[in-house]
Structure 1
Amino acid sequence: MTVDSPSDTTPQAPVADVAGLLDGVPRQRGPAPATGVAPGAGAATVGQGSAPVTATAPVGQGCLPVTASASGATRSASRRLRRAVGIPFTLAYTAVLAVTSLVARYADPALVHALHQASSTDVAHLLRAPVPVLLASGLWVAGGILSPYALLFVLVLGALERRIGGLRTAGVFLAGHVLATLATEIPVGLAVLAGQLPGTSLHRLDYGISFGVAAAAGALAGLLGPWPRGALLALFAGAALPDLLTLADPMTGWGHLISLAIGVAGWPAIRRRGGARTA
């Protein structure tokens, strides 16, 4: 006699029902739902077996730092260009001083001495041709284009021109250069006439841009805060004191102080113009 096993007669429950009856047994995961993205179009693809998993980053994500860096460099170059274009008087004058400095350095010493003599704003030249000699005197910088006064020229006049414009900056420089020269040379001529100084004082060698730079510094100080203003005025006033105390070149020392005072005297007008330009 043949006996049937219970498995032959008992109906089998569906797999899903059995899994639901067993607590703690996780269901088998089916295939991942389709995302609608074709393989190779930016979505990750998982192959069967040991094939590597590849993922493509969103397009353009890695280019952001390069773009930002290039944009920052462009803005920085644009700012420097605008600043340079904003001080044409200072740049043009600096170029002229660079040329005359090269002449003074590499030309024949006798020729350079003759040019300096012809550009000297002494009493004798001022009596014969005041305008040409005053203009020629401002074409030279003592010590060359790399001297401290040349550096101060660029910094002071550039800052002043950016605040009040090129024409007004040129006016301040010219006022200091001309008025301080006349204020120091006229007393020399009177002293020679009175017999207090020898006749050789009428031919004293005097040229350069220092009076104009001092006047521009005095004007610029009126646009600064209290501490920078005091430091700038003290710097230029202190540079004139050794010539006055040692009597090495008192006329030049007085000329620097007078030109500095000329710049300070223009504070009311300069502040009005500087404030309007800044606004």
Structure 2
Amino acid sequence: MGFGVREAEASGGSVPVWVAWLGRRLGAVRPWRLLPTPTGTPFAFGYAFLLCVTSLISAYADPALVHALLQGSSTDVAHLVRAPEFVLVGSALWVAGGVASPFAIGFVLVLTALERRVGGLRTAGVFLLGHVLATLATEVPVGIAVLAGHLPDSSLHRLDYGISFGVAAGVGALAGLLPPWLRVPLLAGFGWMLLQDLLAFTDPLTNWGHPIALAIGVATWPVLRRQHREHASHLGELPTSS
């Protein structure tokens, strides 16, 4: 049966095509590609640099100034009504918990991997889509509940900022571009973490926003997979998703 094999020059035997391809891929693994670079992943690199700057400000600036900046960037209902464009952008310039937080680390790894597969523009689009839609999906019901008298007016004014919704969308999008043996544990592990947060119920709006953002990222699979196949075909590689 000669289908699906090619001659192995070094040994004189024959190996399946997928084994040869896997060998080439493993041999080409470069750990430093997990990190963003100015030329390879300009969006992830530039954004990470900006987050480092705002994290330094948050850590070392006058606490009153930091609080004012965070409050002015908050995507609570009151701010969304007055200046939606400003706060939706401004809230994504801060990292809740600092650069050592899980979502900050996830930002670097996930967005770098995603940008290497689909480019900076689409990566920025996924991040922005998750950040904006998940924010609106969690804050708009609060405004409606206040108008209906089910929540106090103080619910319109809360400190809400960070990159976690965008990162969650990035995880969902990236999973669709990975082979199943990586996709399943990524979604299962991240989903389990989000479920634990929901059960803890310490911050309901944020905790519900994360799975919403994850689902938004998953919804981008058809578009991103098509672009990724075109890119892989151009490079002469086999697609990594199915």
Aligned-residue offset at 1:170: 0.2
Q: Is the 8 A contact 1:164 1:274 kept in 2?
A: yes
Alignment of 1:71-220 (within 5 A): 85-220=39-174
* Aligned-partner Cα distance in 2 for 1:214–1:265: 12
Partner residue, 2:219: 265
Q: Which runs of 4+ in 1 moved over 4 A?
A: 78-84
Aligned-residue offset at 1:92: 0.2
The change in CA–CA distance for 1:93 and 1:246 in structure 2 (over 3 A counts) is: same
* Aligned-partner Cα distance in 1 for 2:87–2:185: 33
Q: Is the 8 A contact 2:94 2:163 kept in 1?
A: yes
* Aligned-partner Cα distance in 1 for 2:230–2:190: 27
Q: Which moved more, 1:261-270 or 1:233-242?
A: 233-242
Q: Per chain length, whose mean CA-contact separation is higher, i.e. which structure has more relative contact order (CA < 8 Å, sep 6+)? A: 2
* Aligned-partner Cα distance in 2 for 1:221–1:82: 19
* Aligned-partner Cα distance in 2 for 1:80–1:258: 26
Aligned-residue offset at 1:269: 0.7
Q: Which moved more, 1:122-131 or 1:144-153?
A: 144-153
**In structure 2, the residue corresponding to 1:208 is in which secondary structure?**
coil
* Aligned-partner Cα distance in 1 for 2:199–2:110: 26
Structure 1 segments unaligned to the other structure (5+ residues):
1-75
* Aligned-partner Cα distance in 1 for 2:196–2:33: 40
Identity of aligned residues (%): 67
TM-score relative to the length of structure 2: 0.80
* Aligned-partner Cα distance in 1 for 2:128–2:108: 15
Alignment of 1:36-51 (within 5 A): none
Q: Deviations over 1:140-166 (max 9, x none)?
A: 011212222111101000000000000
Q: Is the 8 A contact 2:36 2:108 kept in 1?
A: no
The change in CA–CA distance for 1:80 and 1:271 in structure 2 (over 3 A counts) is: closer
Partner residue, 2:17: none
TM-score relative to the length of structure 1: 0.69
Partner residue, 1:27: none
* Aligned-partner Cα distance in 2 for 1:235–1:210: 16
Q: Deviations over 1:223-258 (max 9, x none)?
A: 111121122112322222233223211111110000
Aligned-residue offset at 1:81: 11
The change in CA–CA distance for 1:146 and 1:79 in structure 2 (over 3 A counts) is: closer
The number of aligned residues is: 203
Partner residue, 1:246: 200
Q: Which amino acid aligns with 1:262?
A: I
Point out the structure with max Rg over C-alpha.
1
Q: Deviations over 1:151-199 (max 9, x none)?
A: 1101000000000000000000000000000000000000111111111
**In structure 2, the residue corresponding to 1:104 is in which secondary structure?**
helix
* Aligned-partner Cα distance in 1 for 2:36–2:195: 38
Q: Is the 8 A contact 2:34 2:109 kept in 1?
A: no
Q: Deviations over 1:78-130 (max 9, x none)?
A: 98999652200000000000000000000011111111111100000000000
CA RMSD of aligned residues (A): 2.0
**In structure 1, the residue corresponding to 2:112 is in which secondary structure?**
helix
Q: Which amino acid aligns with 1:136?
A: G
* Aligned-partner Cα distance in 1 for 2:201–2:83: 29
Q: Which amino acid aligns with 2:94?
A: W
